[in-house]
Structure 1
Amino acid sequence: MTAGPAASRRRCSPAAFWRGRLGSWRTRRLLEAHLLVLFLLTAVASTALFLSSRQVQHGAEALASREAPAVQGLAASRLAALRAQEEVDYLVERNLIGVVGSGEAYRSQLSAADQGLSRIADRTDQDLGTVKGLLATYSDSLALGTSLYRDQPLMRELRLREAESLLTRDTVGVAPRLKVLQRTQLEHAEATATMGWWQRAGWWITELALAAVALTLLSALFVLRDRCGRDWNPYLLVAFVLTVLLAVVPLMTAYSTQDDLAGALADLRLLTEESWRSGPPDEAQRKVTEMSEEVRLRLADGAWAEPVHRGALVGSLLAVVLPALGLGLRLDEDYWRRR
């Protein structure tokens, strides 16, 4: 007759019996330790990855939707106001004031300057009220000089000089104030799009945590194969591949986005310097328009990073769930149900 399981256990020596029980206990504890470590590491890695990639994406979105248009709008408004003054000087020089239709050019430039400031009012935290008020006063003085007093040379000259002073007076004129606003807005754009030390620290934490996750997953796979006699766990294998992808793809995307932002910032600096350069305002307007389009296209090229960010979020959640499933199911089947 064949001995049953009970008889087989009775024939085992007590030492062999307890070694088997102790080995099983150690294996279970080792797998439970892997499960706990993996859960903690994936939670840290996923949180750090989400926050780091989201910060990069937020900087790109803020630069494209707020900061860059504000810098461009301030430059365009300042040049439009200067162009209006140039048109008025041309009318005075040619003695065309009072001629029907002669003031349309400067009025269109003033309208462009005012509309430009209105468009960027909700894209900047700076107070544009003072500049808009000065621009309105400047426009009124030009209107008085070119229309109401066009037949009174002394009053006309007084109003036109007053208008020019409102536009160009050091520190308090429209053009100097807009120049200060441009400089401040450019600093805001640089602060928004530049990766700071704490953002870099976030990426270091992400990469180190993902590296630790990958090593722990390999360790868990070998424990299951060597101590439990199991084939490679598919959940842990998929989690390992996903961890490698999360360590590489979002980081490459972040640095590619940062390169685009750095290029856009360089273009904004050149645009700002061009708007400050002495010379004909019409030429500066043309160059600023061309540079603005280059900035827009450069920032539009980085739109592909948003799907990568969403994919990283989904991958981060899977990186937490898959190891828990792989080890949890195995522990439940081999050990927990036997308690």
Structure 2
Amino acid sequence: MGTRRLLRLQLGVLLALTAVASVALSVAYDDTHRRPGAVRDRTAPAILKVAAARSALMSAHLAARDHMDSGLTDEAGTDETYRTQIAAAAQSLSQISDQQVAGEAGERTLSTVISLLDVYREAIVQAVRHAERGALGRAWFHSADTILNRGETGVLSRLDELQDDQLRELSGQTVFTGSRRAAWQVAVAALIALAVALVAVQWQLGGRFPQRLNPCLLAACPILLASVWPVTWAQGTQRLLEEARGELAGVVERQSGVRAGRGLPEGEPDAAGAVIAGAPEAVTRAMDATADRGTGVAVIVAGGLAVAALSLAGLQRHLSQYRFPS
């Protein structure tokens, strides 16, 4: 092959591989570092709000049951703990409507839960009002308990369904899926191919020109080696995403073991809420740790442009300095 044709082929290969490596690495890196913000700002709060509403409902129900069992049926009605917890549950549900990430199905579930909560609150009021009449008060409380705990149609079951949908959204944002793995494999393969091509071009040029090493191509090598940093940062971010998912899934899993009514530990009305403590701070801390890595895409693009410019300068020097037969 003629020297001019070889130089043009080498330049084309280097520029093509640089473009593929830069684009693939940018896409894979951007996908990794867009996800922490979504988890921190939307998905995690939505999951924790559902958990808080569920906890408040269980604590309120326990307080109402204890109030009924105590025989205190004066004009004060339900006790302060019940009123505080049921208000907290209503507030969380109101906030969830603006934050839930389960789409239209989640909106329908929330609408049903809010309607059922109104029915539940009225049943508790009637239970306390008729507590002195024994059977009638117990019947109203049983109705309230059924509304809260009934099979697949109770308030808690519907909240669990909403939570499951939100956890699936969380998995989609945090799991290192096959498509994401493939994107990184393409990026790494292109970087390796570019490194091999740079070495091969240096070797071929050394056999045809007096100057064995091309300074521009040599300067491109450390830039290419620096691509290890974005890959390492992305691995760290993925690890933090998985830790956040584990923290949130752990909250839901631990909470699922705490049930309303008889399942709540005696004397511990806040047992359900205790499983949430610390989770928001832990998730926010993990996601904030990735914030300074978001500029990596600009660094990758700049590095790709630098390698392309050095490759062009290094080979154009030979093309313009010497005259070859066509």
Q: Could you tell me the TM-score, scaled by structure 1's length?
A: 0.80
1:271 is matched with which residue: 232, 244, 251?
A: 251
Deviations 1:28-83 (CA, angstroms, capped at 9, x unpaired): 22111111001111111112111111221233333223332222221221111111
- Asked if structure 1 preserves the Cα contact closer than 8 Å seen for 2:59 and 2:272, the reply is no
Give unmatched runs, 5+ long, in structure 1: 1-24
2:48 is matched with which residue: 59, 72, 85?
A: 72
Q: Which has the larger radius of gyration?
A: 1
1:291 is matched with which residue: 265, 274, 279?
A: 279
Question: In structure 1, what is the Cα distance between the partners aligned to 2:286 and 2:249?
Answer: 14
Q: Relative contact order (alpha carbons < 8 A, sep ≥ 6): 1 or 2 greater? A: 2
Query: CA RMSD for the aligned pairs?
Result: 2.8
Deviations 1:182-203 (CA, angstroms, capped at 9, x unpaired): 2232232123211112221221
2:93 is matched with which residue: 114, 117, 128?
A: 117
The one-letter code of the counterpart of 2:238 is Q
The answer to whether 1:105 aligns with 2:118 is no
Q: 1:107 to 1:314 in 2, by over 3 A?
A: farther
Question: In structure 1, what is the Cα distance between the partners aligned to 2:241 and 2:253?
Answer: 18
Give unmatched runs, 5+ long, in structure 2: 259-263
Q: Secondary structure at the match of 1:124?
A: coil
The percentage of counterpart residues that share the same residue type is: 29
Question: In structure 2, what is the Cα distance between the partners aligned to 1:302 and 1:142?
Answer: 47
Map of 1:41 onto structure 2 = 17
Map of 2:220 onto structure 1 = 239
The answer to whether 1:82 aligns with 2:85 is no
Question: In structure 1, what is the Cα distance between the partners aligned to 2:282 and 2:91?
Answer: 22
Q: 1:106 to 1:43 in 2, by over 3 A?
A: same
Map of 1:141 onto structure 2 = 123
Q: Secondary structure at the match of 1:37?
A: helix
The answer to whether 1:163 aligns with 2:144 is yes
Question: In structure 1, what is the Cα distance between the partners aligned to 2:154 and 2:319?
Answer: 76
Map of 1:305 onto structure 2 = 293
Question: In structure 1, what is the Cα distance between the partners aligned to 2:177 and 2:9?
Answer: 36
Question: In structure 1, what is the Cα distance between the partners aligned to 2:192 and 2:96?
Answer: 45
Displacement after TM superposition at 1:230 (Å): 4.1
Question: In structure 2, what is the Cα distance between the partners aligned to 1:42 and 1:271?
Answer: 45
Q: 1:70 to 1:317 in 2, by over 3 A?
A: farther
Question: In structure 1, what is the Cα distance between the partners aligned to 2:75 and 2:21?
Answer: 72
Map of 2:261 onto structure 1 = none
Q: Could you tell me the TM-score, scaled by structure 2's length?
A: 0.83
Q: 1:106 to 1:40 in 2, by over 3 A?
A: same
Displacement after TM superposition at 1:298 (Å): 2.6
Question: In structure 1, what is the Cα distance between the partners aligned to 2:93 and 2:301?
Answer: 38
Q: Secondary structure at the match of 2:153?
A: coil
Q: 1:310 to 1:80 in 2, by over 3 A?
A: farther
Question: In structure 2, what is the Cα distance between the partners aligned to 1:85 and 1:187?
Answer: 29
- Asked if structure 2 preserves the Cα contact closer than 8 Å seen for 1:274 and 1:288, the reply is no
Aligned length: 312
- Asked if structure 1 preserves the Cα contact closer than 8 Å seen for 2:113 and 2:159, the reply is yes
